[in-house]
Homo-oligomer: A and B are copies of this chain.
């Protein structure tokens, strides 16, 4: 045991634009939401996001990420098919769309062929109301697995909503509210990006706004939960897809609430092009700025989702540096935030670095204990190069942990790879909430 002489580990440097937690509607989109009685609570449970009238007949470019669960829900299957119908070369991962219909309260998962028929009927009604083809629409749903959607009520709701579609910020906030289930608050994030002219690229500016819902059945290695990200930037579907996948790798796929991936997880990124200018070229300064904007929004939404994890009181961010690769760093970070023992220790405000070390050791990544350093909040607690455990002020460490956000830093001392992951503490309230849901 040695005294604490070393400085603590600094947070990772991240090159992302600043995010505001407001619902700001990018140009080129409209939205509306209402309650049609899917949720027993009678809260809002039906929402629409649509390209406004200025969109081309086929709609706007869209990219998607879907759950990797082997039993995807009906809306996921339908959205994949529709994307593939609008752009076969996109393989169902990107294409064109006129709008998204979102329902909450029923997942329309594990509902067999009937669920597919229901979802197709909703798509027809939605398309008819928009004056579009069914394949130009997409769908999202969240809620209880194994229950059917009330098709007639949803259809009536759509007929009511379409004439009321609005480009206001309030309409976007209403969508964020309507897709919530056990979320305690809405999740929205927005960035405004200006790109100066350089070389043969003209100056451009655009906005990226996202909304998302958490808060259970969230775990890495699936697409994610539900999220819609809108931008008025001008970009082709394939570029949007590259940007979305790369952002998700560092954000949503690094998010774990409870280790379960849902049957319904979906993220859509839509680009209206209303900001004007040329369509962005892969590798251009504008495309890189859009990628940073999307990642900033995705990261902030992921952190909001982690903070609002079922029963959670503390957002845990684990940042790892000194790994051989970024992939290894992300794996270690994920293992730490996914560990039930780390999660309960954080809940107990217990600076139990042994559990952090053990969780890191389960990541499938080689770790040299003589180079490993661990800091909890601002306290360096373990330094392998100084014999391992450090003496530290436990009361001060406990006090620092008693906050809505906790940073856990690890440095592996073996390379330049870095990454982060987001999770939350595991509390009695999580257990109570999930022991009492449904039935």
| A332-386 contacts to B (CB < 8 Å) | 338-341, 344-345, 347-348, 350-355, 357-367, 369-370, 372, 382, 384
Residues of B within 8 A of A263 (CB): 357-358, 361
Q: How far is the CA of A109 from the CA of B260 in the complex (A)?
A: 30
A70 at the interface (CB under 8 A from B): yes
A111 & B259 in contact (Cβ 8 Å cutoff): no
Residues of B within 8 A of A219 (CB): 362
Q: How far is the CA of A115 from the CA of B434 in the complex (A)?
A: 41
For the complex formed, measure the closest distance between the CB of A319 and the CB atoms of chain B, giving whole angstroms.
19
Residue ID in chain B nearest A358 by CB atoms: B263
Q: Which of B70, B222, B353, B426 contacts A367 (CB 8 A)?
A: B70
Q: How far is the CA of A398 from the CA of B438 in the complex (A)?
A: 13
Residue ID in chain B nearest A110 by CB atoms: B357
B358 & A435 in contact (Cβ 8 Å cutoff): no
| A271-320 contacts to B (CB < 8 Å) | none
Q: Which residues of A contact B (CB under 8 A)?
A: 69-72, 107, 109-115, 144-146, 216-217, 219, 222, 258-263, 338-341, 344-345, 347-348, 350-355, 357-367, 369-370, 372, 382, 384, 387-389, 394, 398, 426-428, 430-432, 434-439
Q: Are A258 and B389 also in contact (CB < 8 A) when A394-B439, A432-B428 are?
A: no
Q: How far is the CA of A367 from the CA of B68 in the complex (A)?
A: 12
Q: How far is the CA of A427 from the CA of B431 in the complex (A)?
A: 6
Q: How far is the CA of A74 from the CA of B365 in the complex (A)?
A: 19
A351 & B387 in contact (Cβ 8 Å cutoff): no
* Cross-chain pairs A/B with CB under 8 angstroms, 24 sampled: A70-B360, A70-B362, A70-B364, A71-B361, A107-B354, A109-B354, A110-B353, A110-B357, A112-B384, A112-B387, A146-B353, A146-B354, A217-B358, A222-B362, A258-B340, A258-B341, A259-B339, A260-B341, A261-B361, A344-B430, A344-B434, A350-B438, A352-B438, A352-B439
Q: How far is the CA of A382 from the CA of B360 in the complex (A)?
A: 38
